[in-house]
Structure 1
Amino acid sequence: MKPKAVVIYSGGMDSFTVLHLALQQGYDVYALSFNYGQRHSKELDVAVRVCEDLGVSHKLVDITAINQLLQGSSLTSSDIDIPMGEYEEDNMKSTVVPNRNMILLSMAIGYAVSLGTTQVFYGAHAGDHDIYPDCRPEFVDAMNVVSAIANYDDVQIISPFLHATKQAILQAGVDMGLDYRQTWTCYLGQEKACGQCGSCVERLDAFAKMGLTDPVPYVQI
Structure 2
Amino acid sequence: MKDSVIIVSGGMDSITMLYEFKDRIALGISFDYGSNHNAREIPFAEMHCKRLGIPHITIPLDFMPKYFKSSLLEGAEAIPEGNYDEENMKSTVVPFRNGIMLSIAAGIAESHQLKYVMMANHSGDHTIYPDCRPEFVEAFSHATKAGTFVGVEILAPYTNISKADIARHGKALGIDYSETWSCYKGGEKHCGKCGTCRERKEALKEAGIEDTTEYED
Answer whether contact 1:5 1:112 (CA < 8 A) is retained: yes
**Runs ≥4 in structure 1, deviation > 3 angstroms?**
none
2:84 corresponds to: 87
Identity %: 41
SS at match of 2:57: strand
Supply the RMSD in Å over aligned alpha carbons.
1.3
Answer whether contact 2:36 2:184 (CA < 8 A) is retained: yes
Query: 1:79 Cα deviation (Å)?
Result: 8.6
Specify every segment of 5 or more residues in structure 1 that has no aligned partner in the other structure, as ranges. none
SS at match of 1:64: coil
Answer whether contact 1:119 1:158 (CA < 8 A) is retained: yes
1:19 corresponds to: 18
1:49 corresponds to: 47
Specify every segment of 5 or more residues in structure 2 that has no aligned partner in the other structure, as ranges. none
TM-score by length of 2: 0.95
Q: 1:155 aligned to 147, 152, 165, which one?
A: 152
1:142 corresponds to: 139
Query: 1:55 Cα deviation (Å)?
Result: 2.1
Q: Is 1:180 the equivalent of 2:180?
A: no
Answer whether contact 1:4 1:30 (CA < 8 A) is retained: no
Answer whether contact 1:39 1:76 (CA < 8 A) is retained: yes
Distance 1:172 1:107 in 2: 28
SS at match of 1:29: strand
CA deviations 1:10-54 (Å, max 9, x no partner) are: 00000001111111xx21430000001111111112212222222
Please tell me the residue identity of whatever aligns with 1:22. Answer: F
1:9 corresponds to: 8
Q: 1:129 aligned to 120, 123, 126, which one?
A: 126
SS at match of 2:167: helix
TM-score by length of 1: 0.94
Distance 1:17 1:79 in 2: 26
Distance 1:175 1:22 in 2: 13
Pairwise mapping of residues 106-121 of structure 1 onto structure 2 (< 5 A)?
106-121=103-118
